[in-house]
Structure 1
Amino acid sequence: MTTVLIAHFVAAAIAPLLVRQWGRNAFLALAVVPGASTVWALFQVPAVLRGETLSSSMPWAPEFSLRLGLYLDGLSLVMTLIAAGVGALILVYCARYFDDSEAGLGRFAGVFVAFAGAMLGLVLADDLIQLFVYWELTTVFSYLLIGHSTELKESRRSAMTALTVTTFGGLTMLVGMVVLGQAAGTYVISEIVASPPSGTAVNVALVLVMVGAMSKSALLPFSLWLPAAMRAPTPVSGYLHAAAMVKAGVYLVARLTPAFHDAVVWQYTALFFGTLTMVLAGWKALRQFDLKLVLAYGTISQLGFLITLLGAGTRAGALAGISMLVAHSLFKAPLFLVTGVIDHGTGTRDLRELSGLRTSMPGSFWTAIVASASMAGLPPTLGFAAKELAFGAFAHGDGVDTAVLVGITSGSVLTVAYTLRFLWGAFSDKQDVSPTPVHSPGPLFQAPAMVMAGLGLLGGLLSSLLDPLLAVYADTVPATPGKEEKHLALWHGLELPLLLSAVCVVGGLAMFGLRHQIVWAGTRTALPDPNRVYRRMLAWLENLALQVTGGTQRGSLPIYLGTILVALVIAAGWWMVSGRIWNGDYPRLRLWDSPVQIIPALIVIVTALFTLYVRRRLFAVVLVGTSGYGIATLFYVMGAPDIALTQFLVETVSLVVFVLVLRRFPPRFSAPALRGRRVWNLALGLATGVVVSSMTWYALAGRREPSISEGYPAAAKEAGGENIVSVLLLDIRAWDTMGEISVLAAAAAGVASLLFVRRRAQPRKAPGGVMALSVTQPPEPDVGQDKADLGGVRIAPQNMHLKPRWQHSWLPGADALPTERRSVIFEVVSRFLFPVVMVISVYLLLTGHGSVGGGFAGGIVAGLAFTVRYLAGGRFELYASAWIQPGALIGAGLAVATGTALGGAVFGTNVLAGGHAYIDLWILGTAHVTVSMIFDIGVYLLVIGLILDILRSLGARIDEQIERDAAPGAAEDRSEAPGVSEEVIS
């Protein structure tokens, strides 16, 4: 089973390469993977018929009782055959549906195969959390498939609607799964089904899970996304409706019904919403003019039918439900594919414009006839046999069964009617409509639909042979006492189900005869348009968000900070003044542990106080930085050199960032605040200081057990390191570090987005392929001039790397700086220091696990090396020395760190599992390599990328803006073209 899933995702990864090489014929090669999965599933049929199950499991996160488990039984086998078999045939269909010139065809092929793999993972998963992961993967992949035509606004909007609705349902379902797993004491689905929990919490969880299933299967009130998804290419529509995505909700209901068949909330929710959806969606289908929309609303109606049967909680309903599940896949997919053939050959799907296709497209016509017969429930198709079982499941029951029987009979009447509407609209000869010109489809284009329609007919003829396989799942649901259990067959005698089938045919014919009146009546008694309701709801939410944001987010940093501090003072201060929060004596206070601490403490206090009174921004920044250096000194004096080093480096980078930003600010602060505001600020600051200090004191006083830090030295040795801080960050609290570097990456993206509004492109290249450090195209010279007037905007020479060696400057990028801004001494020193500092940064990275340093400190040191080159040589020197995109470094760092974290799970241990090894480097000696070191390399790359992003955003980008503002005529240019320039810096 694992091999089946891996094969799909590997095929998805190489699909773009195959499409690039073979064009649309690559779909034929890709179809081999789901085709082979179908063959594998067929080989498992004998074992399943013997009552055997196939399972595999490996631990994922044992501390959270999570594992990666796969499970194959009767239900998952049937779903595997559907998802893989239908997927293989639709991939063959894609080989003739698309042209080689289709935009994004490689991406489409890869996403489609991955979508099929995610669906297989969903039906084979034996863990609730694992099932949810695959569930969300199908949501994401369907979003990409529905929005394949990215240039069309409606396509993008439809994809977003599907993503929004199904994600809402998925998150709701996740809450239910967590409650259900906790109540059961396990997240293993097979164990939950074997020993289901009960209670009020379980009932709430079942409702939440049912909401997720309903949103995925497009039941009311979540049905609006499925008709909108018809903007997708026809192969996507066929697969979504027949074998994937919408069948996920049906599968989830079928999977949990054996465990909760007697839960009233589960049973009645399925019966009510399933029956209601079947009737209302069937009525809606009768008023559509687009063939795909007729089938789309028909699918919603049939999904309601399936949820009703599979959620009924009886063996008869389960057998009817899984039989109809197979039948639906074998008639809905070919009907969509036939619609695609019609659209491809005629250029329209509007049934009012189609005429004469019965004779011009005979292959598609007879395929549609066979598939439509099964959809309408006509003998001798599988759809007829399944519908007979459905009627029998609710016949001769209580009042609820009778009401459901009336509902599904009414829905079946509508099914016959919209089936006739589809056939009439697609293939009939219509008056006042000339025969539609047709481009004849090839045999391979029509073959997949013919195969599936033929299997639907064959399944009805051989229904008695199909019954044992489907009964494997049905037998997991208890039979109704005193009620004769039926089997899948074409003939059950002259009984009520046969009579109801006849009523459905007659009623459907009558409604089809009144189709014009139905359309007329429907336009006057139409229910509210779900899409319009959805748009209005989104608009209301957006307006509410604007009002709330406008009322609470005023753009004032003092107000935000003051609100946080007031909440801290009230919440923490109340508990400290209202009573003692620990037992025992008050802790003894002392002013210092060593007199040496007095000096850095005084520096911190004095600089902090002076910061309150200075009026120049730069002085305030220097004072704040000095205060930070004082705190770093305290760390060092207290025996924490690693933390002290990090604090020193962070303060240095912060000073650089402040200086870069302050270039665009006035040199002095604005007018002093009013006296009342100053008094309030002073009081709040004093209160915050007292509360925070008291919290620290109270924390020491309230300790009852020895500190866990006493075990850190032993834990460090166990992890293969000696630097306790590094081991703490990379081994013991690795999850925290993962979160922190993710926040750093988000911060880098946020800073860059403030200045690079549109995009960040690579610098253009000069003729001959040499990187041009200039990002501003030089203007053309005026008439009669040999050189253009640059107006103060300096353009780096594009041939700076082509100069003879004796003409090179110490920093090539510095040639673009004005003479008054250059310092030869600074350039020489920075040139010599750069490699030395980079070596030091690598040293700190490699030795961080055993001594002072680490990836974070090493990354900052490397970033400072680039900062020095930027300050010495300007923005062009920054581009020359740091030619790699900062975003690439940040992404590489995240990838290395995340890959290392997940490596433990891949190799059968825990996520973020540690490990170390000794590698013999011959002459160089033996290297001690740890998993934490690899993780630290990711941190190192990310921090370098972060600093480079800041330099390019707050440094080079602002440099360019300053140069533009200083150029003659800049004011007039800004008045004529306000906003951020489209010229961007890499």
Structure 2
Amino acid sequence: MLIAVALHFLAALAAPLLAPRLGRWIFPLLAVVPAGTAVWALAQSTAARSVAPPSERLEWVPSLSLALAFRLDPLAWLMTLVIGVVGALVLLYCTGYFSDDDEGLGRFAACLTAFAGAMVGLVTADDVLLLYIFWEITTVLSYLLIGHTSRLKASRVAASQALVVTTFGGLAMLVGLVMLAEHVGSYRLSVIVAEPPAATTTVAVAVGLVLVGAMSKSALVPFQFWLPGAMAAPTPVSAFLHAAAMVKAGIYLMARMAPGFSDLAVWRWMLVVGGGATMLLGAWRALRQTDLKLLLAHGTVSQLGFLALLLGIGNGDAALAGVALIVAHALFKSSLFLSVGVIDHATGTRDVRLLSGLRRSMPWTYWSCVLALASMAGLPPLYGFVAKEAAIGALQHGGPAPGDAVSTAALVVVVLGSALTFAYSARFLLVGLGDHAPGIPGKKAATVPTPVTRQPVWAVAVPAVLAAAGLVLAPLATRLEPWLAAAGGPWPKTPEPAHLLFVPHPGIPLLLTGVVIVLGVLLVVARRPVAVAQRSMPELVSSERGYRWAMRMLERSANETTGFIQRGSLELNLALIFSMVVLLPGAALVTGVTWPAEVRVFDSAAQLAVALIVGGAAIAAARSRRRLRGVFLVGVTGYGVAMLFLLHGAPDLALTQVLVETVSIAVFVLVLRRLPVKFRDFSTRLDRRLRWALGIAVGLVMFLLALTAAAVRQAPPASGILADRAKSYGGGENIVNVILVDIRAWDTMGELSVVLVAATGVASLVFLRSERASTSWERIRNARGRRRSHAAASSDGRRWIPDAGSLPWGGRSLMLEVATRVIFHAIIVWSLYLLLAGHNHPGGGFAAGLVAGLALLLRYLAGGRAELGAALPVVPGWLLGTGLFLSAGTGLLSMLVGGHVLQTWVFDLHLGPLGDLHLVTSTAFDVGVYLVVVGLLLDIFSSLGSALDRDIHHEDQPADRSARLLDAEYADHEEASR
């Protein structure tokens, strides 16, 4: 099962690469994957019905109870078969539907194939968290598929609407599934259904949340409005997602959980009432549609309501009928959607008012539609008739208590809904495909057929195969019943069980079928009065209008909230943040915490001295009127913290803190060149007092939190085992480094991603104008060329800091240039030492990268912006991307060789006379960290250093003159205030 899912995603990854060469013929190649999945499912048919069905389990994140657990029981087997068969045929249909020059062909093929794989994973997943992951993958892929024609606003709006609705339902479902899993004590879906918890309010709420997710995915009332809007998608998407796959995900979840939870009142009421309302509403709206695709969309909504109603009844007969209807609906509805796509391509329209004479001009498509429509209307000898007869029989027998009122009401709804289904099926056939004058439905005029163009064989044959399948399966209904009954789930035996019968027995179900046909014929005959009645009936309640109103209110409230908070004032932003820091943790401190019995203020006089220095520097920084002085005072606090780390015996942390503080001061100084010397303070005395009060409150709250945090610990600290784990598990003696590259490597991976975002943000803030990549490469080539030319011009071929000569004489420092020539290489060697020695000694990739970055800063300060490019003539993005790729690749490689993601492998090699080599694979991860940090610092120095130098050089007035003008303005303001 895992292999089947993986093959779909691998094929999806290959599709964009192959599509430019193969064109539309990429689709038959991709169809091999779902077809192979269907063949594999057929081969597992006997095993799936066994007492112990095939299952696979691969632990993924044990601490989160997350595992790659799959189980091919009868229901999963049936859904996999449907997904594989319909998915393969739809991909074959795409060969005739698309042309080689269609836009985004590779992207569409990839998304459709990946969607099939996600559906296979969803129906076979036996872990609730894994099920949710596949659930959301289908949501994202459906968004991409519905919005495939992104140039059209209708496609974008429909895709966004489907995404919002199904994501909302998915979150509700996740909460419900987690509540059930925690209540049962297992995250395995099969265990939750087999051993359901006792009916309590909590369980009822959890089941209700799960059903909200299922109903939103399957477009049941009140979420039904997104499905008709999704008809903006290409026809293959409608045929697969909205007939056989995506909308069936919710139905599948209902069928999966019905044996364990159908006895709950919330289950029956939500599904029977919601399903019945959806069935009637969808069928009623389908009657008034003039677009064939919209007619089928509303019909799909109606059929999904029918399925939900059956699964809400709560007995084995209804479940059997529901499973049979799932198969029938997948066949006839996908055939009809694909046929509409053929008609649209051949005639250029789907409007029934413009179609005529298709029985003669498109006979294969016409008769495919006839078979599929007959099955949808529940007419013999089609499989849809078999499923509908079983449904009526199941409702006649009742739910858990035969003859109960809920089942009786559901039976009435099904009869009325089936009559409406017959009527809109007849409307599709008689008005959409019949002979009438275009624009005047109902008037015979065989002499004006709609012009058609010849369609490819693939496009015509696939709908015919799907429609014919309903004709073939009907006589096999009795033989297929054991498999479908097993897929329906384990239910108690009933005295008079319903069966799937090709030739029905005389009785109430057959009589009600006759009533359905009579009512349907009456609706067809009276279609004009019905149309008038529909137009005259006001739509009092519209969930779509409610959705749009909710989105408008959400957008308005977001704008108002953002407008109130984000006013462009850093002071206001910081005040709000710090106020929350005081209020929320402060409330926890006031309401009651466990205070430590003994508090040690300091351990030594050195600690007290450093603490006093840090506190004094912080107060002085807050009172400083000059920016540069404030930066240096803040730096003193950072160096003081490093000293505290050192006094506590943490040299690795102290080294990193010193390096970070040094880089921070350098960046501050680079930025301060563009700012006035002094702070501009227009605040009143009251404002200053409030700021001091807020600052003191924040410090006090954080101090008290740190003081009480250890007292409320409920689990033993992990630090006690880290020393041993660092050696045995990570192969190193530096606990800090092993934590970063091994024990908490996932956190480091996330932080590397944040570093990339930060680098992008810094560059975008500084480079206000758009700079093409070619310009960046040109600067790099120029820097390399200058380096070669300087080397050639030098008598001995070696010259250091050659670009310093381009600086104005007043901006050069000969002492700094000479010192840089002497120590630059030593700093680089030290950074490499820290990188390689960090696993056992102070250092590591982060600290080493900071040291290398400071070396680059030294070259920049000594030689200017040109020297920075000459020191490391590469684009920072290359370093950032290569580092992240190397770190991620290390984790992937460890998984491919049979270990866990980011697992460390230790190799002790004896090299004879050369000695022993202790090799740890996490070193490669650390090298990635090193490259990312160097790339970040190079990007910062290029943006805040050389880029600002270039801007200053091109400005009419120097930056220091601007700063002097601002200082003069500030002085004038102070003088006026006095």
Structure 2 length normalisation: TM-score? 0.89
Q: Match of 1:853, SS? A: coil
Which amino acid in structure 2 is aligned with residue 863 of structure 1? G
Per-residue deviation, 1:563? 4.6
Q: Match of 1:504, SS? A: helix
CA 1:581–1:56 in 2, change beyond 3 Å: closer, same or farther?
Answer: closer
CA shift digits 1:430-467 (9 cap, x unpaired): 22454322111122221111111111111112212221
Gaps of 5+ in 1: 766-770, 776-795, 969-986
Which amino acid in structure 2 is aligned with residue 62 of structure 1? P
Which amino acid in structure 2 is aligned with residue 406 of structure 1? V
CA 1:270–1:897 in 2, change beyond 3 Å: closer, same or farther?
Answer: farther
Per-residue deviation, 1:226? 1.5
Higher mean C-alpha deviation, range 69-78 or range 56-65? 56-65
Q: Indicate yes or no: 2:436 matched with 1:430.
A: yes
> After the TM superposition, which residues 446-525 of structure 1 pair with which residues of structure 2 at under 5 Å, given as runs?
446-474=460-488, 476-480=490-494, 482=495, 484-525=496-537
Which amino acid in structure 2 is aligned with residue 28 of structure 1? P
Task: Please say if residues 314 and 479 of structure 1, whose CA atoms lie closer than 8 Å, have aligned partners that are also in contact.
Answer: no
Provide the rounded CA distance (Å) in 1 between the counterparts of 2:736 and 2:786.
Answer: 45
Provide the rounded CA distance (Å) in 1 between the counterparts of 2:713 and 2:481.
Answer: 68
Per-residue deviation, 1:531? 4.0
Q: Indicate yes or no: 2:644 matched with 1:630.
A: no
Per-residue deviation, 1:235? 0.8
Higher mean C-alpha deviation, range 756-765 or range 455-464? 756-765
Provide the rounded CA distance (Å) in 1 between the counterparts of 2:449 and 2:593.
Answer: 91
Which amino acid in structure 2 is aligned with residue 937 of structure 1? V
Higher mean C-alpha deviation, range 680-689 or range 1-10? 680-689
Q: Indicate yes or no: 2:907 matched with 1:917.
A: yes
Q: Match of 1:42, SS? A: helix
Which amino acid in structure 2 is aligned with residue 260 of structure 1? F
Task: Please say if residues 59 and 905 of structure 1, whose CA atoms lie closer than 8 Å, have aligned partners that are also in contact.
Answer: no
CA 1:577–1:954 in 2, change beyond 3 Å: closer, same or farther?
Answer: same
Which amino acid in structure 1 is aligned with residue 382 of structure 2? T
Higher mean C-alpha deviation, range 826-835 or range 741-750? 826-835
Q: Indicate yes or no: 2:37 matched with 1:9.
A: no
> After the TM superposition, which residues 100-119 of structure 1 pair with which residues of structure 2 at under 5 Å, given as runs?
100-119=100-119
Query: Which residue of the partner structure matches residue 167 of structure 1?
Result: 167
Task: Please say if residues 49 and 73 of structure 2, whose CA atoms lie closer than 8 Å, have aligned partners that are also in contact.
Answer: no
Query: Which residue of the partner structure matches residue 656 of structure 1?
Result: 666
> After the TM superposition, which residues 797-946 of structure 1 pair with which residues of structure 2 at under 5 Å, given as runs?
803=789, 805-807=791-793, 836-872=826-862, 878=868, 885-887=875-877, 889-898=879-888, 900=890, 913-919=903-909, 926-946=916-936
Q: Match of 1:612, SS? A: helix
CA shift digits 1:213-244 (9 cap, x unpaired): 01111111112221222111111111112221
CA shift digits 1:823-852 (9 cap, x unpaired): 677667657765554443333222211001
Q: Match of 2:55, SS? A: strand
CA 1:824–1:360 in 2, change beyond 3 Å: closer, same or farther?
Answer: farther
Which amino acid in structure 2 is aligned with residue 173 of structure 1? M
CA 1:356–1:740 in 2, change beyond 3 Å: closer, same or farther?
Answer: same
CA 1:405–1:695 in 2, change beyond 3 Å: closer, same or farther?
Answer: closer
Provide the rounded CA distance (Å) in 1 between the counterparts of 2:832 and 2:636.
Answer: 27
Q: Match of 1:418, SS? A: helix
Q: Match of 1:506, SS? A: helix
Per-residue deviation, 1:502? 2.0
Provide the rounded CA distance (Å) in 2 between the counterparts of 1:703 and 1:170.
Answer: 34
CA shift digits 1:98-123 (9 cap, x unpaired): 11111221121112111111100111
Q: Match of 1:966, SS? A: coil
Q: Indicate yes or no: 2:448 matched with 1:442.
A: no
Q: Match of 1:543, SS? A: helix
Provide the rounded CA distance (Å) in 2 between the counterparts of 1:355 and 1:320.
Answer: 37
Task: Please say if residues 342 and 349 of structure 1, whose CA atoms lie closer than 8 Å, have aligned partners that are also in contact.
Answer: yes
Query: Which residue of the partner structure matches residue 194 of structure 2?
Result: 194
CA shift digits 1:382-427 (9 cap, x unpaired): 0000000111111152211111111111111111111122223432
Q: Match of 1:917, SS? A: strand
Query: Which residue of the partner structure matches residue 135 of structure 2?
Result: 135
Provide the rounded CA distance (Å) in 2 between the counterparts of 1:3 and 1:707.
Answer: 40
> After the TM superposition, which residues 55-70 of structure 1 pair with which residues of structure 2 at under 5 Å, given as runs?
55-70=55-70
> After the TM superposition, which residues 225-264 of structure 1 pair with which residues of structure 2 at under 5 Å, given as runs?
225-264=226-265
CA shift digits 1:849-881 (9 cap, x unpaired): 100111221222233334344445555655565
Q: Match of 2:778, SS? A: coil
Higher mean C-alpha deviation, range 61-70 or range 539-548? 61-70
Provide the rounded CA distance (Å) in 2 between the counterparts of 1:123 and 1:736.
Answer: 32
Higher mean C-alpha deviation, range 119-128 or range 657-666? 657-666
Which amino acid in structure 2 is aligned with residue 92 of structure 1? L
Task: Please say if residues 339 and 460 of structure 2, whose CA atoms lie closer than 8 Å, have aligned partners that are also in contact.
Answer: yes
Per-residue deviation, 1:251? 0.5
> After the TM superposition, which residues 673-752 of structure 1 pair with which residues of structure 2 at under 5 Å, given as runs?
673-693=683-703, 695-696=705-706, 709-719=719-729, 720-752=731-763
Query: Which residue of the partner structure matches residue 561 of structure 2?
Result: 548
Per-residue deviation, 1:668? 1.6
Q: Match of 2:67, SS? A: strand
CA 1:735–1:50 in 2, change beyond 3 Å: closer, same or farther?
Answer: closer
Provide the rounded CA distance (Å) in 2 between the counterparts of 1:423 and 1:773.
Answer: 68
Task: Please say if residues 78 and 487 of structure 2, whose CA atoms lie closer than 8 Å, have aligned partners that are also in contact.
Answer: no
Provide the rounded CA distance (Å) in 2 between the counterparts of 1:702 and 1:457.
Answer: 69
Provide the rounded CA distance (Å) in 2 between the counterparts of 1:141 and 1:564.
Answer: 37
Provide the rounded CA distance (Å) in 1 between the counterparts of 2:879 and 2:156.
Answer: 31
Q: Indicate yes or no: 2:409 matched with 1:408.
A: no
Q: Which of 522, 533, 537 is the aligned partner of 2:550?
A: 537
> After the TM superposition, which residues 556-571 of structure 1 pair with which residues of structure 2 at under 5 Å, given as runs?
556-566=569-579, 568=581
Which amino acid in structure 1 is aligned with residue 133 of structure 2? V
Provide the rounded CA distance (Å) in 2 between the counterparts of 1:60 and 1:85.
Answer: 30
Per-residue deviation, 1:23? 1.5
Per-residue deviation, 1:800? 5.0
Provide the rounded CA distance (Å) in 2 between the counterparts of 1:710 and 1:536.
Answer: 55
Q: Match of 2:47, SS? A: helix
Provide the rounded CA distance (Å) in 1 between the counterparts of 2:462 and 2:802.
Answer: 64
Provide the rounded CA distance (Å) in 2 between the counterparts of 1:728 and 1:573.
Answer: 32
Which amino acid in structure 2 is aligned with residue 450 of structure 1? A
CA 1:61–1:88 in 2, change beyond 3 Å: closer, same or farther?
Answer: same
Provide the rounded CA distance (Å) in 1 between the counterparts of 2:129 and 2:341.
Answer: 37
CA 1:949–1:82 in 2, change beyond 3 Å: closer, same or farther?
Answer: farther
Query: Which residue of the partner structure matches residue 86 of structure 2?
Result: 86
- How many residue pairs align between the two structures? 938
Query: Which residue of the partner structure matches residue 291 of structure 2?
Result: 290
CA 1:437–1:849 in 2, change beyond 3 Å: closer, same or farther?
Answer: same
Which amino acid in structure 2 is aligned with residue 716 of structure 1? A
CA shift digits 1:481-509 (9 cap, x unpaired): x4x11211122222222222222222223
Query: Which residue of the partner structure matches residue 979 of structure 1?
Result: none
Q: Indicate yes or no: 2:351 matched with 1:350.
A: yes
Query: Which residue of the partner structure matches residue 976 of structure 1?
Result: none
Per-residue deviation, 1:336? 0.9
Query: Which residue of the partner structure matches residue 973 of structure 2?
Result: none
Provide the rounded CA distance (Å) in 1 between the counterparts of 2:221 and 2:867.
Answer: 61
Task: Please say if residues 24 and 100 of structure 1, whose CA atoms lie closer than 8 Å, have aligned partners that are also in contact.
Answer: yes
Per-residue deviation, 1:966? 3.2
Task: Please say if residues 741 and 922 of structure 2, whose CA atoms lie closer than 8 Å, have aligned partners that are also in contact.
Answer: yes
Higher mean C-alpha deviation, range 623-632 or range 606-615? 606-615
Provide the rounded CA distance (Å) in 1 between the counterparts of 2:337 and 2:803.
Answer: 61
Which amino acid in structure 2 is aligned with residue 435 of structure 1? P
Provide the rounded CA distance (Å) in 2 between the counterparts of 1:337 and 1:939.
Answer: 51
Task: Please say if residues 146 and 236 of structure 1, whose CA atoms lie closer than 8 Å, have aligned partners that are also in contact.
Answer: yes
CA 1:299–1:956 in 2, change beyond 3 Å: closer, same or farther?
Answer: farther
Task: Please say if residues 49 and 468 of structure 1, whose CA atoms lie closer than 8 Å, have aligned partners that are also in contact.
Answer: no
Higher mean C-alpha deviation, range 415-424 or range 266-275? 415-424
Which amino acid in structure 2 is aligned with residue 144 of structure 1? L
Q: Match of 2:60, SS? A: strand
